[in-house]
Copies of this chain bind each other. A is one copy, B any other.
Amino acid sequence: MITVTGTFTVKKNKIEEFQTGTLELQNASLNTDKGCIEYKFHQQQDAPENFFVYEIWDEMASLELHGASQHFNKFSKLLEGNLDKELDIRIYNTI
């Protein structure tokens, strides 16, 4: 199992658009991606332009398939030009 986290900061006039877009990606990933165990987006309480995603995958191959999926590519397009702080992706192992 691998855990993936992602943090990014969106332009303040885009927050609502990302609330919709993140939920779309979240649902599509959980419902259609093989090996997707957890996929949960969050917004920082005191800074709603800061988004965070916590994902758990059964193996790396599943994550790679996800990266090539239509729903992930759609979200990647939404990110383009709409970020104030770049996407920071990290891959973890649980201890």
Contacts and interface: CB of A to CB of B under 8 A. Distances in A.
A91 B70 CA distance: 31
A52 B6 CA distance: 12
Contacts of A90: 44, 50, 52
Interface of A: 2-3, 5, 19, 22-23, 26, 40-46, 50, 52, 54, 90-95
Count of identical protomers in the assembly = 2
Given A41-B95, A42-B92, A54-B54, 18 more contacts: A2-B45, A5-B5, A26-B95, A40-B94, A41-B94, A42-B93, A42-B94, A42-B95, A43-B93, A43-B95, A44-B90, A44-B91, A44-B92, A45-B91, A45-B92, A45-B93, A46-B91, A52-B90
